[in-house]
Every structure is written in C-alpha cells, then in structure tokens.
Amino acid sequence: MRKLIIAALSLLCLPAFASQNHVVNSTFGTGISGWPQYAYAGHTLGWASGVGHAAAGSAYVYVDGTQDGSPHDVYRQCIGVKELTPYSFGVWFRYDDGGYDTAGRGNINVSFFSGADCSIGGYIAASGSSGSQTGASYVNTFQQLSLTGGNVPPNAHSALVGLRFYTTNVGTAVGYFDDVTFNNGLSGDANADGSRSVSDVFYLINFLFAGGPAPQG
C-alpha cells in the first residue's frame, strides 16, 4: 500500500503536459489512410510523396478554377476525447505559386460531439484556427495553424478534426497539409477534472482497492 501511494504521488511530480497526439496518420508518411476525403466540385485530393513539413509526405488539395471559393473540410477524422480536460490542436499548411491563378488557403476546425462517433445529432460546439497567411514570404513555405488552450466541453466524447481549404479568389490553386495534432488530457489527471492534484491519488486508490471508477485522464 505504501509503495502504491508513493507511486501515485510521483505522478504529481511529472511535467504538466497534454497526452499524446490522438490523430491517426498525422504525418502522412506513406499515404492518407485514416482521413476520409471530401472532394467538392472542382477539387482533387490525394497524397504528395515529395512534399512535407518535417519529412516527405503530405495530403494535397488542387482546385481547377470551377470551385466556389468557400471553406470546405476536405479531410476529416473522428477521434475520442475526454470532457473537461485540456486540449490543443494544429496543422502545418503550405500553398504553392507555380503558375496557379490564386493562393490556396487552409485552416483546421474541431467540432465536439456528445456521442463517440461524431454523430451530427450530438453536436456541441466548435473551435477553429485562424486562416493561413498569403504573400511572397509564405509561398512554398509551411506555416503552422494552431490553437492552444481550453478544455473539452462538458458531455463531449468525440471530436471531428477537419482540414479546410479555400482560395483567395476563384481560380486554380494547390495546398498541402501535414503534421496534424490533437492533444488531449493531462498526464496524471486520473479523475479528469482538468488539473493534477492529491485528489487524483485518492481517486486511484479508490479505484484499486474500493471498486471505484477507472481513471479517466
């Protein structure tokens, strides 16, 4: 029992950080598996083997000038989340200028749902990053789009991560997404109250010896 308490207390001495990235195939190293595609009119989606942020491989979007220019989720992924726990998310985005009519733009949007499968009927709330930048200094260069901070809304059990693409003007354009992240939870936060404290130690002891609920964080 004494060893258990010491081990549990040691959790409180760990660096505070969100849990590991929940996104599947976040770096697009060998393809776009795990990311359902939504190709709207005028859009072509696929995998770029020779373009990437930290390493080769990314998800690309090409538009042929017949698109409406509005923001659309072109890639999506549903992931599990824990309510009231800290989260952060982001993506690296790049647009190219090689003879295209206009600049491609991107952002990342996250919608929270009460069910475990991102069912539309259980929609709760959404968070999104600011749109990507355009201009000479951003051409052919990956820029990070991210949001850090906040807690998952109450009663949320899944989140739909959407990679959005649109254009400055209607015309041909291309963009690339890479290194997507959605970090959720706090290391050692056993009762998932959004903080790490001695209450997490008692929560673990209650679970192990008194039939209490399993750790959530």
Percent of residues, the chain, with pLDDT higher than 90: 62
The predicted model scores a pTM of: 0.81
E strand or H helix at 195, and its extent? none
DSSP-derived 3-state class of residue 217: coil
Residue 187 pLDDT level (bands cut at 50, 70, 90): low
Domain ranges (residues) in the chain: 19-185
Confidence of residue 188 (pLDDT cuts 50, 70, 90): confident
Residue whose pair of structure tokens reads 């040691």 in the numeric block = 10
**Does residue 215 or residue 122 have the better pLDDT?**
122
- What kind of fold does domain 19-185 have according to CATH? Jelly Rolls (2.60.120)
pLDDT of residue 15: 47
Q: Which long-range contacts (CB under 8 A, 24 or more apart) does 128-132 make?
A: 129/89, 129/90, 129/91, 131/105, 131/106, 131/107, 131/166, 132/93, 132/95, 132/105, 132/106, 132/107
Q: Which residue has the higher pLDDT, 73 or 12?
A: 73
Q: What is the mean pLDDT of residues 191-216?
A: 79
Backbone angles phi, psi at 163, to 5 degrees: -95, 115
Q: pLDDT (tens digit, 9 = 90+) per residue, 77-111?
A: 999 998 888 899 999 999 998 899 999 999 999 99
- Average pLDDT along the chain: 88
